[in-house]
Chain A
Amino acid sequence: MFYQQALNALQLGSIYALIALGYTMVYGVLRLINFAHGDIFMIGSYLALFLASYFHLPFPIIVIVTFAAIALLGVTIERLAYKPLRHAPRVSVVITALAVGIFLETLTLATIGPQPRKFPELIPMHRWTWGVFSASNIQIIIISLSIVLMACLEFFIAKTRTGMAMRALSWDKTYAPLLGINTDRIVSYTFAIGTGLASVAGIFVGLAYPIIDPYMGIMVGWKAFVSAVVGGIGSIKGAVAGGFILGIVEITSAALLPSSYKDMIVFGLLLTILLFKPSGLFGMPLQKKV
């Protein structure tokens, strides 16, 4: 029972972490909370559903195609909606992000309809049991693939030139371009990777909790956002840690209390952490200039 819940927590945590990475990367580079991120995750889930039910593609191909298509969608949204506002007051950008989120939601609602859909079984379910320990192949795939993706991201950010440019840009927006960093190109990369990771999380949600609907992005998106904030928004390590913390807290509270209390506990945790560590667990304290 305990191992079971621990695996569930890791599974949920890795989904939150994958989405939280997108929030935190975009925030790092643009200082923008991309409120549309949760809805992009939802679109990713739907795209995978259609690829699976109409083209009957195998699982790895679906992951790659969804990642690519949603990354393209993310870059397009950034170019059309956020880029014209690069020098506008921050609040206009935030409002635009909210509007983009509503647009994606209502567009899905208007074209596909509000009824929940069954996500096809991409991988036949297996359950292995060794004594008290039992795990399904889906749980193993979700957790291990998430960890692989996070390791790739860490490598990309730490070792490649583009990753270095991202770090430079989030360190200082004014001086990084003076060193020959093309801001627009780096922002596009950031959006592509962030939204791509969210779409993979969308596929994982379809695998693990196989009913999807146009509103699923709202709550999952906000909780991933909470993970990013708990970990310290702008910090990659923080987003991963925050995602797993949130997964553990949510599964524990659902196991001990009626499940309708879990939202309250998640957001209560957010308030408590912000009270004691205002910039999250791994976040850098904001410098106020006089």
Chain B
Amino acid sequence: MNKNLFLFLLLFALAGAFALCDYTQCIDPYVAQIIMYIGINIILTASLNLVNGYMGEFSVGHAAFMGIGAYAASYVSLSVLPPSPLFFPLSLLFGGICAGAVGLLVSIPAFKARDDYLAIITLALLMIVKSLFENIPFFGGPQGMSGIHKYTNLTGVFVCTVVTIVVLKNIIAGNFGRGIIAVRDDEIAANLVSVNTKHVKILAFVVSSFFAGIAGGLFAHLIQFINPRTFSLVKSTDILLMLYLGGTASLTGSILGAAIWTVLLELLRFLGIWRFVVAPVALILLMIYRPSGIMGGKEWRFLFGKKAD
């Protein structure tokens, strides 16, 4: 109990520190931007972890949910709500809900398909969503949306990241989480011990895509313009790389993977275009010599208490 109180105070203090930084602008904008990218990437990676790691599926469509969240949130904050940062949480929420609704659609074919075929279905979803953004004038066509207000700040990203991690941790530790892990280990056996695999899959997909949508909203209000190409397969691959770098079925892994990958790409900036050549080679070596990633099913007990898996 004491440790929980300590963690709570620590997070509260960190949130206060970030709020102070936002208020006084004391951090270099470049550094602040990288910190915000790390937060957004943590949300994306941890939420994908629920489906790809804990449930053992292979979804490659996470960028589509992020894109839906980004477009929905930007549309609401540009055209519906009054232009004030006070209403930003509402538009974020709307983006998350839209992404979650599409996640519900994807969970239906996931009742039957698994493995390669589910990967193909999510891939098709990604391509169709991107193509819709490109072809419907309402979404701005290939140019996308611009002039989005810069509402995303350190505090906002931090709060969203912490909420994501806490919600995911509680889901995984709870009844539904046991069900999700049971589906991964053996779906038929899970059914036999009265896990409602359909409910479990719906929940995993909806929660995962909801948070991807939130991350998309944050991302759109950070870089202030979005176009369909931002949410392509390359983005999905990025998220997959962070997830498998950190290790599946581990929230600590998602946090570390997202942070290390984001910082590494910035540190390698001096290599120019060659950093994108070095990065996949590093990933191949990682897969050969440490296929479970950095954490791989383990957690830091300090942050997450007893082993969740």
Q: Mark A residues whose CB is within 8 Å of B.
A: 33, 81, 84-85, 88-96, 98-100, 102-103, 106-107, 109-110, 218, 222, 226, 229, 233, 258, 260-261, 263-264, 266-268, 270-271, 274-275, 278, 288, 290
Contact = CB atoms under 8 A, between A and B. Distances in A.
Interface range, B side: 35 or more
A201 to B, nearest CB: 20
B21 interface: no
B117 A261 contact: no
B173 interface: no
For the complex of A and B, the 9 pairs showing the least CB-CB separation, nearest first, are A264-B131, A99-B280, A103-B280, A106-B276, A92-B291, A267-B124, A99-B283, A267-B127, A102-B280
A85 B288 contact: yes
25 contacts: A33-B116, A33-B119, A81-B288, A91-B58, A92-B244, A92-B287, A94-B58, A96-B283, A102-B279, A102-B280, A103-B277, A109-B276, A222-B123, A258-B135, A261-B135, A263-B131, A266-B127, A267-B128, A268-B124, A270-B120, A270-B124, A274-B117, A274-B121, A288-B188, A290-B188
Interface string B275-289: 011011101100110
A102 B276 contact: yes
Contacts of B58: 91, 94
A260 B135 contact: yes
B189 to A, nearest CB: 9
Given A85-B291, A88-B291, A270-B124, A264 B135 contact: yes
Nearest to A114: B273
A98 B284 CA distance: 9
Contact of B121 (A102, A107, A222, A271): A271
Contacts of B241: 95, 99
Nearest to A260: B135
Most chain-B CB neighbours within 10 Å: which of A91, A94, A103, A107? A91
A96 B287 contact: yes
A266 B123 CA distance: 12
Given A271-B121, A274-B113, A260 B284 contact: no
A106 B265 CA distance: 14
Q: A-side binding surface: helix, strand, loop or mixed?
A: helix
A261 B131 contact: yes
A258 B136 CA distance: 12
Nearest to A91: B58
A271 B143 CA distance: 27
A106 B120 contact: no
Contacts of A88: 287, 291
B112 interface: yes
B274 interface: yes
A235 B155 CA distance: 53
Nearest to A113: B273
A81 B128 contact: no
Contacts of B277: 103, 106-107, 110
Contacts of A94: 58, 119
B190 interface: no
B258 interface: no
Interface in B260-309: 272-274, 276-277, 279-281, 283-284, 287-288, 291
A267 B61 CA distance: 13
A267 B125 CA distance: 8
B284 A110 contact: no
Contact of B113 (A85, A261, A266, A278): A278
Contacts of A260: 131, 134-135
B60 to A, nearest CB: 9
Contacts of A84: 288
Nearest to A268: B128
A154 B124 CA distance: 30
